[in-house]
Amino acid sequence: MTVALPFFSDCVNWPHERLAALEYLIDEGAEISRDEFLDRADADEADIPPAGDWGVSYFELEDEPVVWYVWSAIEHVYALDGTVERVQDLALDRDATADSGLPFFVAAIGRAYVGWPEQQRPALDLLLAGRREISRVEFTGCVAADADALPPEYGPARYYELPGFACAAFTWDALLHVYASAETIAAMQCYRRPGRTG
């Protein structure tokens, strides 16, 4: 007998220490039907968007027992806690084995940039104030990520670099994905923009 997967979290309230798992789900998810979702999730039809709603999509991670739906750009994930831990490990392994370019640093959610390490907020402030928009081709040429880990080529994503630093980022689905080494983030922490004090 298959255990129905309990609700784990939505992306807005996702645990900060497991943001890599959320990004992995978004990157690696395979679309499924609403019926397949209901067969596997511990959710009543009344708990999810109505059938026929064109604004909702359902997904699974093929190698792990986890399903979710996306509605209004918010992921609602159903999984056991241990499964999310394994997905976090998969995500960290994937990021560590990327062959060249800037490594993945963090994904932060929403306007409050939930998930960005608070002690490194000055680096985020510098990125937001000094970023320059670049093309997707320029972005893919400098980061260690396969095309499958990036937003669709013709989607609404925006790509950025931080001039003077080996740092690149993209925004997509209310997430800010930042690629930089720990050394670069440390240098960004110490940098004072001209005209700023303190």
- Shared domain for 58 and 86, answered yes or no, is yes
- Shared domain for 15 and 89, answered yes or no, is yes
Asked if the model's pLDDT at residue 4 lies above 80, the reply is yes
pLDDT, tens digit, for every residue of 19-75? Answer: 888 888 988 899 999 999 999 999 988 889 888 888 899 999 988 999 999 988 889
pLDDT, tens digit, for every residue of 26-36? Answer: 888 999 999 99
DSSP 110: T
- What pLDDT sits at residue 91? 81
The amino acid present at 101, given as its one-letter code, is G
pLDDT higher at 192 or 124: 124
pTM exceeds cut of 0.75: no
Q: What are the strands of the beta sheet with 30-32, ordered from one edge?
A: 7-10, 74-79, 66-71, 56-60, 30-32
- Shared domain for 76 and 106, answered yes or no, is no
Domain count, the chain: 2
Q: Give the end of a domain, one of 66, 93, 120.
A: 93
Residue 21 lies in a domain: yes
- pLDDT bucket at 1, cuts 50 / 70 / 90: very low
Which of left, alpha, beta for 28 (phi over 0: left; psi -120 to 50: alpha)?
A: alpha
Q: Quick check: helix, strand or coil at residue 177?
A: strand
- Which structural domain, as residue segments, surrounds residue 136? 100-190
Q: Give the end of a domain, one of 33, 60, 93.
A: 93
CB within 8 A of 167, min separation 6: which ones?
102, 127, 161, 178, 179, 180, 184, 185, 188
pLDDT, tens digit, for every residue of 142-181? Answer: 887 766 777 877 778 899 998 888 889 998 877 888 988 8
Residue 162 lies in a domain: yes
Residue 2 lies in a domain: no
Structural contact between residues 21 and 29, judged by C-beta atoms closer than 8 angstroms: no
- Shared domain for 137 and 55, answered yes or no, is no
Structural contact between residues 160 and 145, judged by C-beta atoms closer than 8 angstroms: no
- Shared domain for 178 and 123, answered yes or no, is yes
pLDDT higher at 5 or 182: 5
